[in-house]
Structure formats: structure tokens, C-alpha cells
Structure 1
Amino acid sequence: MEAEILILRHQLNIQRRHVPKRVAFSAMDRLIFVGLSRLVPNTIKALTIVKPDTVIRWHRAGFRAYWRWKSRHRGGRPATPLEIRRLIREMSIVNPLWGAPRIHGELLKLGIEIGQTSVAKYMARRRGPPSQGWTTFLRNHADGIVAMDLFVVPTISFRLLYGLLIVGHGRRQILWCGVTAHPTAEWIANQLTQACGWEQIPRYLIRDRDGAYAEIFTRRVRSIGIRDRPTSPRSPWQNAYAERLIGSIRRECMDHIVVFGERHLRHVLLSYMSYYNGTRPHLSLNKDAPISRAAETVGRIICRPILGGLHHQYARIDLR
């Protein structure tokens, strides 16, 4: 028998020399090798076409496959729908300070029945501590900032009138419109006092370095408690909100109207201010107005002209 085993091994060596490529094994071949090695461990020494470590690796792979089959899903709780999982992930991303209990409470208020452990499972994983984004950080400070600027409007008699705009950075709302033919520092200071009052005082004021803002104006600003922040010379982009507002007024109003005088210009600017704050949608406010408009879904649509028909306001009225 030993001689026969020796001849068989020699034949295998000859076969290996003539077929140097890797031998392919079927699942039954692997099962036979693994079974014999577990029943008779000494037979592993007789392996020549495979290494002993290969047989052990096959056995471990079979062990994992067996228990994967053994612990396969057999029902239980229903899977969470994909739209709910996306909603949980989105809520955790846009609200970095919220944890699983807070998100779970919001979902319950939306009528979504789900466990808190499932919410924690589908939340976005963060590498570091939660932090707000730059957009949120800047918007939290925008409510305490106002900007002001002067612009020139020619009349029908070629006189020059000056309009003063004060706009809040929080909701891009026009806080004040003033008109004068002689913009002195005292007049501008009085306009700022009337616009801001003594109760809702902004923290910062952004303006350019126009010569009209003289010592009287700066003293009034300091006495109110506002921090004056003039822009750099020849840098209109540093007062972008006010410059953009003046451009909107010219494109949407003043370029289509001939001004008769100071009283007429004041009336036009106040009409546009009412339209701008309460009706006109803004891209930066997600198509909402500075004074938020509620969506109307019931009633007949009516049209109301603004500025003599230059613009229109659309609303619904209930006829019941």
C-alpha cells in the first residue's frame, strides 16, 4: 500500500509539471477536501495540489456561508421606506444641532411612526462635533445690519433730487425712503433716526464715504448706539445690498417714469416701497417677499395695478 501511495504521488507530481496552471476546483471537490480534513486531520499532510491553508480558508468560508443562511431574514419589522430614510438624512444634515430624539419628535409631529433607534440608524454620520454652516452663521448676524445709500433722480425741469434708502440685511426690507434736493448731514441723521427709532436700533450701519455724511451724522450715529462701518474708497461692492436695491428701483420704476418734483418722487418711492416689501418676490428669500406672503389657494384671482399699471399684484378673494 505504501508503494502504491508512492506511485500515486509520483504520478501527481508528473501531472503538476505538465500542467503548471492553477487547478480549478468545484464546490464538491472543496467539500470533500474539507470533510476529510475534519474527519481525519492527518490526511491534510497528503495534499499536494492545494496547500493546507487553502483547505482551512475553504472551511471558514463555508462556516460563514452556513451561518449567513442560518440567520437569514425571516420577516420581523417592516423595512423603513426609502423616502423616510432620505428625509431623516436630510433633516440631520440641515440641522447639525439636532440629535435622534429631536428628529424623532419632528417625525411624530409629521405623522410618521418610526422608532428612535431607526432614526439614529439612518442619520448622517459626522466625523467631528456638529457645526453650523457659513450661510447660517452669516444670516444670524444679518438682522442687526442696515445699509444706506443716496441716489440721484433728474426731474422734468432737469433739477436733481436725491433719494435716500435704508435697507435691512435680514429680509432685504426697505426701512425708509427719503427725498430732498439738498442732502445735508443733519437731514440724513434725522432720516436715520426716524427709520430706526430708539427701540429697534441696528447694531451696524454700512455706508459709503460720501461727503454728505459729515461730523453731525457720525455724532448722531454714535449717540444712538450704532456702530458706523464706512466702506473702502471706490468699493461699491462692499455695500452690495443697497447698490442692488438702487439698481432694482431704476430698472423697475424710475427708468419708466418722468418725475415732476420732490413731492411726486416721494409718492413714487413710497408706492414702490410698499410693492417691494409686501408683494415683490425675491430669489434670495425663496420667492417670498420681505414681509412674508402666505400662499392663497381658495378664491377667485384678482389683479390690482401698482404704480399706474407698471406692476400688478395678484391675490385671491373668497366670493362665498
Structure 2
Amino acid sequence: MAKEKVQNLLVITFEKKKTGRPNIPWEIIKLIRRVAKENKIWGATKLHGLLLKLGHTICERTVSKYIPKPPPNTKKRISWKEFYLLHADAMIVSDTFTAYSSNFKEIFRVVFFLHLGSRQVLHFDIHTNPTTKWMRKVLKFAIRKQKQAGKKFHYFLSDNDSVFGKRFTKYLIRFGIKHKKTSFHSPWQNCYAERWIKTCRNEFLDFFIPLNQFHLEKKLEEFIHFYNHHRTHLALNKDSPIPSPVFIRPPDGSKKLVSTPVLGGLYHIYSYKKVA
């Protein structure tokens, strides 16, 4: 009995008492990280003020402890994805790709201009030996079509191809357009243009052999018209770049579904017409 009393006395005497502030609940930590992720430009002071507005009485040092540390170079805070999202409605992306004639004797270079916000292909052109002078001419048509479509155009994004060189940049400045170039060997920075090239190859060029440049121009124009007006996009809530009408299915069978072939039947456009 005396031994147990001695043990209890030792436990009470030497038991470590927890000191300092209480632990922050995990839910609060997750909330701090969430608002920091959703407001990347803000520091601990502004985030702390936001959390106070949300009814959480925590100190600023706690907020500072759980938010990610800012990068040393503040100019690199905004990622490429965020840059795209911020300027999508005022940006044109462009790139070139090659296509071959049926006898493989001609190599065609195709250039296109894609409005990032709407995913609409504004203009394209084809040449066997593209130059900066030719690119400037093509750009004029793209700007004209951009104005007709009512699209803003303040940024032009391209890779480091020679046709997008210094003279082309100076030409853009005359129109009040800023030329942004990707880093060398970084095609992912122009991902939307690269994705359109993949779409064009997978959904058009893989099923088509151009006989000559005129043949390629006509068929590519037909595909781009279909792409802009009828092909649905997940990023556009399954609408087309130029919004297409949504038909109401006739309940009484008074109308029938009619299909119109595109590109020789590779695709079809659908509509309802009254039954005769």
C-alpha cells in the first residue's frame, strides 16, 4: 500500500504538463490551405483578415505557418495555366504543322490562328515555303476575321519558329498586340494549339490524302467550318465554338431527323424537317 502511494506521488510530481497554445483543429488547417490555394497572390495578412470575416478567431502567425511559402521570384507566381485563364478572351494562339501530298513530293506547311476563349479557328493558310512576309499577310486576314467575329485580340502566343521572328513581333506591335513566345523545347506551353493539331490529325488528316494544295485548302476549310459550328467541346460545356442551336425533339413524330454529310460522309450535321 505504501509502495503504491509512493508511485502515485512520483507520477503526480514528475508528470509533464502540456504548455503553450492548444493544437489547431485539422478542419481549420485544411481551410487555411484551401483559401491560400484559391487566393495565391495574397499573403498571410490578407488571408488572416479573410478568415476573421469567416468567423475563425485565429492569429496571423498560425495562418502564416500553414500557407505555402512564396517563390523567391514574384514574377513567376502565376503559372502558364493561370496566364491562359486570365487572358483567354483576349489571346490568339498559333502554330504550324505539315501535311504531305499523295505522291509525297510536296510538303505543305499549315498555319492557323485559334481564339483561346472560344476555341474558334479564325483563319488558316497553306504554303510550301513559308516566310515572315507571308506570315504578315496571313495575320492581316486573321485580324480582319477576328474583328468580324467580335473577338478581342491583345496577346499572340506562338513558339520560336523562324516565321514568328523579330520582324513578325514588330509587325504585331503596330496593331497593339503583345507577342508572347514559349520557351525552347516546351510545346506544353502552347498546349491549346498543340491539342488542335492533334484533333486535326486524328479527326481529319488520318482519313484524307490531299492531291495538291488546292485540294487540301478546300477540305481543310470544310473541316474547320464543321469544327467551329458543329463539333462539341467539353471545355465549352459541350457546345461548339460558334454556338449552335439546340433543337426540341418533336413529340408527335411530325418531323423527321435529317442528316447532311460532311467531308464525304466522315461526319454528319443533323436537323429536323417536317414530314411531307
What TM-score bracket applies, with the shorter chain setting the length? 0.5 to 0.7
Tell me, in whole angstroms, the C-alpha distance in 2 between the residues paired with 1:188 and 1:209: 14
AA matched with 2:259 = C
Distance in 1, Cα, partners of 2:82 & 2:127: 38
C-alpha distance after superposition, 1:110-162 (max 9, x if no partner): xxxxxxxxxxxxxxxx828xxxxxx9996563110010000000111211001
Report the counterpart of residue 88 of structure 2 in structure 1.
Answer: 142
- Asked if 1:290 is matched to 2:237, the reply is no
Aligned residue number for residue 206 of structure 1: 157
What residue number does 2:54 align with? 127
Q: Is residue 201–residue 226 contact of structure 1 (8 Å, CA) maintained in 2?
A: no
Q: Percent identity?
A: 32
Does the CA contact (< 8 Å) of 1:164 and 1:177 recur in 2?
Answer: yes
1:241 to 189, 192, 197: 192
Residue aligned with 1:179, SS = strand
* Alpha carbons of structure 1 residues 318 and 309: separation in structure 2 relative to 1, 3 Å: same
Paired letter, 1:151? F
Q: Cα distance, 1:318 vs. partner?
A: 3.6
The Cα shift of 1:224 comes to 1.1
1:316 aligns with 2:272: yes
Structure 1 residue 216, shift from structure 2 partner = 2.7
In structure 1, the partner of 2:97 is 151
Number of matched residues? 190
1:274 aligns with 2:225: yes
| 1:317 Cα offset (Å) | 2.2
User: Which ranges of structure 1 fall in alignment gaps of 5 or more residues?
Assistant: 1-125, 129-134
Matched, 1:166 2:117: no
Matches within 5 A, 1:112-123: none
Change (3 A) 1:136 1:184: closer
Match for 1:232 among 153, 177, 183?
A: 183
Output one character per residue of 1:6-42: Cα deviation in whole Å (capped at 9) or x when no partner. Answer: xxxxxxxxxxxxxxxxxxxxxxxxxxxxxxxxxxxxx
Does 1:301 pair with 2:257?
A: yes
Q: Could you say which residue in structure 2 is the equivalent of 1:223?
A: 174
Q: Equivalent residue of 1:183, what SS?
A: coil
**Map of 1:12-161 to 2, 5 A cutoff?**
127=54, 139=85, 141-158=87-104, 159-161=106-108
TM-score between both structures, scaled by the size of structure 1: 0.56
Distance 1:308 1:216 in 2: 41
Shift of 1:193: 1.4
Deviation for aligned residue 1:301: 1.0
> 1:143 is paired with a residue of what secondary structure?
helix
- In 1, are the aligned partners of 2:91 and 2:152 still within 8 Å (CA)? no
Secondary structure of the corresponding residue to residue 280 of structure 1: coil
Contact 1:147 1:206 (8 Å CA) reproduced:
yes
Counterpart position of 1:188: 135
5+ residue gaps, structure 2: 1-52, 56-80
Q: Would the alpha carbon gap of residues 242 and 305 (structure 1) be closer, same or farther in structure 2, given more than 3 Å must change?
A: same
* TM-align CA RMSD: 2.4
CA gap of 1:318–1:220, structure 2 versus 1, over 3 A, is farther
Greater C-alpha Rg: 1
Distance 1:234 1:140 in 2: 24
Give the TM-score normalised by structure 2: 0.64
CA contact (8 A) 1:185 1:215 kept: no
- AA partner of residue 210 (structure 2): V
1:177 matched to 2:124? yes
Q: Distance in 1 between matches of 2:169 and 2:84?
A: 26
